[in-house]
Homo-oligomer: A and B are copies of this chain.
């Protein structure tokens, strides 16, 4: 009897099957009251495989039936260990692993890395292993655009005699490669945010019929859903796939939701505006422009699921505005989005004569943002407990400092603001109110590209706090106040890229939150 770790993979291969369909038959797994069914997928001539991820410990009996070939057996599922925390799930406006472990996405982007040479793919894996990234956006299909002029060695399908893609004949060389890369990512603790369709295409994958598209997706589910680190991204820039309608996209989302028994994350990425809210959508995967910065709050409100800004431009120096962010701007966007309650994704596009740019092909990272993203990641992971987005004490940021004057000179204005139409007041507050991420015993505020020379903290009078100023670029934490209580003013360095971390000291006077060296 095979022993499988919870969230691990059980596989069973059946040969001599009289079929050549991409998916066939079914396997039923039973563990007490729990019943799970998956399809087999083609792995060779007359050869099919069952792939199953048990999510409950104990004995699972299985029955496999593929074109009349019947198999039975039992597997034992034992507790997960080490870095295996299960799959990532949405949890309110955040994510977590199945076993409850914290997961905060720090993604990167290598659209077509699996379509490059073996050597380059291995280099990418090495670079990822040395990076902070725990999610990667990657396409099934190859990519065509500037710096993407090479053809891959193999494609997901073989061709018909007329040259059209035959989605009923998966190219198994390709799928074995994809298996291998997803598994490697899993070993590195990296979620594979797999982009199923995209428009940057010169081979015809963007033009598949709806029937062919669904056949392809069924194969994806049968073959890939058992990987605990798989996410389904229906599209990159879905609006640019003009062959597909909203009904088509909804059909994919509904089909994945139904056929993927594990309920992996499903999203769809836009070019113009986020895809409307749908039941099958587990989180938002948004491309946004610099002018959309303040919309993160609105999207959180509107969608009530995690908001991932999966594309906000790339660190680089290309002659395209989406590909020439400074490293500081990239890091700033991570902080900005995180401190509006969203999550952000990295990419890198430095011009190279060999056209090997990380954003498309992987390889090596040349930029300066990754270490700073690692700093932010370590900081966020070090903060205890559940976090949420909060307004600053409900105090208006424009409120006058009344320390030096008896008169609150802004009070009449604020009174008038209180009488303003709600929509106007909301718009105003969305722009001016500072927000913070807070846990039970800490809060983190980021000052954006602004550079205040001081901050007024409004702390509980009967508790003690410590304040640290964080330099997001130089990756330093410096104490700026200890034993703070009540309303207190602290000095800030008056430079861009500053954040402040306020931590409550334990009531015994001892600091229960040790300063973490990150």
Q: Which residues of A contact B (CB under 8 A)?
A: 144-146, 148-149, 199-202, 206, 239-240, 242, 271-273, 289-295, 317-322, 324-326, 329, 350-351, 397-398, 400-401, 404-405, 407, 409-413, 416-417, 419-420, 424, 427-428, 431-432, 434, 447-456, 494, 496
Contact = CB atoms under 8 A, between A and B. Distances in A.
Contacts of A326: 449, 451, 496
A409 B291 contact: no
Contacts of A351: 453-454
Contact of A452 (B240, B271, B324, B450): B324
Contact of A271 (B145, B206, B428): B428
B329 A452 contact: no
A417 B325 CA distance: 24
Contacts of A289: 294, 431
A463 to B, nearest CB: 22
A240 B417 contact: yes
A293 B452 CA distance: 22
Contact of A397 (B200, B319, B405): B319
Contact of A201 (B321, B398, B413, B427): B413
Contact of A145 (B144, B410, B434, B456): B410
22 contacts: A144-B409, A144-B412, A149-B409, A199-B413, A200-B413, A202-B411, A202-B412, A239-B420, A240-B413, A240-B417, A291-B294, A291-B295, A317-B494, A318-B452, A319-B454, A319-B456, A320-B397, A320-B398, A321-B397, A324-B453, A326-B451, A350-B453
Given A317-B452, A401-B146, A428-B272, A242 B420 contact: yes
A302 to B, nearest CB: 16
A493 to B, nearest CB: 10
A249 B400 CA distance: 29
Contacts of A325: 449-451
A411 B400 CA distance: 57
Contacts of A451: 317, 324-326
Contact of A202 (B206, B290, B407): B407
Contacts of A321: 397, 431-432, 434, 448, 450
Contacts of A318: 452-453
A451 B200 CA distance: 24
A405 B355 CA distance: 12
B272 A455 contact: no
A459 to B, nearest CB: 16
Given A146-B400, A494-B317, A272 B453 contact: no
A240 B416 CA distance: 7
A-side interface mostly: loop
- Which of A290, A350, A420 has the largest count of B CB atoms less than 10 A from its CB? A290
Given A317-B494, A324-B494, 13 more contacts: A145-B400, A149-B407, A289-B294, A291-B293, A319-B452, A319-B454, A319-B456, A321-B397, A321-B434, A322-B432, A324-B450, A324-B453, A325-B449
A91 to B, nearest CB: 29
B416 A455 contact: no
Contacts of A144: 409-410, 412-413
A17 to B, nearest CB: 38
Contacts of A450: 321, 324-325
Given A272-B424, A416-B240, A496-B326, A146 B410 contact: yes
- Which of A149, A351, A400 neighbours the largest number of chain B CB atoms within 10 Å of its CB? A149
A340 to B, nearest CB: 12
Contacts of A452: 317-320, 324
A298 to B, nearest CB: 11
B291 A405 contact: no
Contacts of A200: 410, 413
Nearest to A239: B424
B240 A420 contact: yes
Give the 4 A-B CB pairs with smallest separation, nearest first: A324-B450, A317-B453, A319-B452, A317-B494
A326 B494 CA distance: 9
A488 to B, nearest CB: 13
Nearest to A201: B412
A434 to B, nearest CB: 8
A293 B295 CA distance: 14
A456 to B, nearest CB: 7
A322 B449 CA distance: 11
Nearest to A289: B431
A494 B316 CA distance: 9
A366 to B, nearest CB: 12
A324 B434 CA distance: 13
